[in-house]
Amino acid sequence: MSESGSTGVLYTEYGDPAVTACGISSQWSFESCDRILGRPKVRGVPGVGTEYWLERPDPLLNTILPGTGVSLIINWGDLWAAGPSLLSASFLPRISVSGAVTKRKVLVLGKQIQASGVGFPAALAMKFLGVPAAELADRIVPLEDLWPRHEVARLADRRSVKSAREYLIAHGDRRKTADVFAWKATEAIRGGNAGITELAGDFGLSRHQFARRFLAATGLSPKRFSRICRFEVLLPALLATDVGAWASLAPAMGFYDQAHMIHEFRDFAGAPPTMFFSPDGLSTSTRLQGKPSEWW
């Protein structure tokens, strides 16, 4: 994106197929570092995962976007703040748990950034944290509210995403098993192969009963969950697709047309994608060409 400044943030999504058997769906880190001249905005690193170079004003760095999962976040750098707006943002705990997000939030980062985290499906909230996912929806809470303080202190000493992940898995192994209903229901909706009425029938429930039970298990209505799932897939797809091909992308993503897709993106991200992917909030003719992941 823009060429302003020599220091930005390297966001890394780690790829480790071995952890999927434990239920961890993602593991990532943020780190302040100087930009290497010519570094692509997105690049795959063999044996590591995918790196994303983000300028400080980039909305991808300064926004908490809607998502269906639960995250454990460990921050060793300057404190972060989050809220519906800059004026209402409040400081986040050093070690926190974020539930499903239904509305975007503003994220304010400090000068020195060093953080890591792991994410997992809502159905595993009881297994890893000892509380149902519904209690965490649209909330960011200190891990101390969920785990004994001495265990949180031990986790704070583990200054890598790998060790934090291993600690979470070991801790979770001593907890309850997955919520079977939430697991099957969320995976079925994520797959998009059946409507809510049909899915409810598969569970032997009426549509109303299914919706009520789903909300109690995840903190989201089935419809909201489905829309956010689609948005979670749409975001990286738009980043990796030439703007000129967005119209053909829309039907494959489950939208009526491009206008419907742009409207849905704006509803969740707060701006249309061409504007959201531009750090200065402006769209020029040059930025409207190529893949957003290649814009500088």
Question: What are 73-123's pLDDT values in tens digits?
Answer: 999 899 999 999 988 999 999 999 999 999 999 999 999 999 988 899 998
| Tens digit of each residue's pLDDT (9 = 90 or more) over 60-75 | 889 999 999 999 999 9
Same domain, 273 and 186: no
- Contact by Cβ (8 Å): 109, 61: yes
Phi, psi values for residue 120, rounded to 5°: -150, 160
Give the domain-ending residue among 172, 192, 210: 172
Question: Rounded distance, CA 184 to CA 189, Å?
Answer: 9
Same domain, 11 and 116: yes
Same domain, 215 and 254: no
pLDDT confidence of residue 166: 72
Same domain, 52 and 185: no
pLDDT confidence of residue 159: 65
Number of domains composing the chain: 3
Q: Which of 15, 3, 8, 66 is nearest to 44 (CA)?
A: 15
Query: Is residue 1 in a domain?
Result: no
Q: What whole-number percentage of the chain has pLDDT above 90? A: 47
Query: Is residue 2 in a domain?
Result: no
Query: Is residue 42 in a domain?
Result: yes
CB atoms within 10 A of CB 237: 14
Same domain, 83 and 189: no
Higher pLDDT, 290 or 17: 290
In the predicted model, is pLDDT for residue 256 greater than 80? Answer: yes
Query: Is residue 206 in a domain?
Result: yes
Same domain, 246 and 284: yes
Query: Is residue 231 in a domain?
Result: no
Q: Please list, in sequence order, all residues whose beta carbon lies within 8 angstroms of the beta carbon of residue 91, skipping any fewer than 6 positions away.
A: 79, 80, 81
- On average, the pLDDT of the chain sits at 85
Query: Is residue 235 in a domain?
Result: no
| Tens digit of each residue's pLDDT (9 = 90 or more) over 183-214 | 899 999 987 767 889 999 999 999 999 999 99
Question: Rounded distance, CA 87 to CA 80, Å?
Answer: 14
Query: Is residue 135 in a domain?
Result: yes
Higher pLDDT, 150 or 222: 222
Same domain, 124 and 211: no
Average pLDDT estimate for 51-57: 86
Question: What number of H helices and E strands is found in the chain?
Answer: 11, 12
In the predicted model, is pLDDT for residue 282 greater than 80? Answer: no
Query: Is residue 126 in a domain?
Result: yes
Q: Indicate the pTM of the whole model.
A: 0.87
Same domain, 167 and 276: no
pLDDT confidence of residue 126: 87
Same domain, 146 and 286: no
Altogether, the residues listed in the chain come to a count of 296
pLDDT confidence of residue 2: 41
List the domain range (segments joined by +) for residue 274: 240-294
Q: Alpha carbon of 288 to those of 16, 240, 265, 273, 293: distances in Å?
A: 34, 13, 17, 10, 12
SS3 label, residue 132: coil
Same domain, 99 and 208: no
Same domain, 14 and 156: yes
Same domain, 148 and 271: no
Give the domain-ending residue among 172, 188, 206: 172
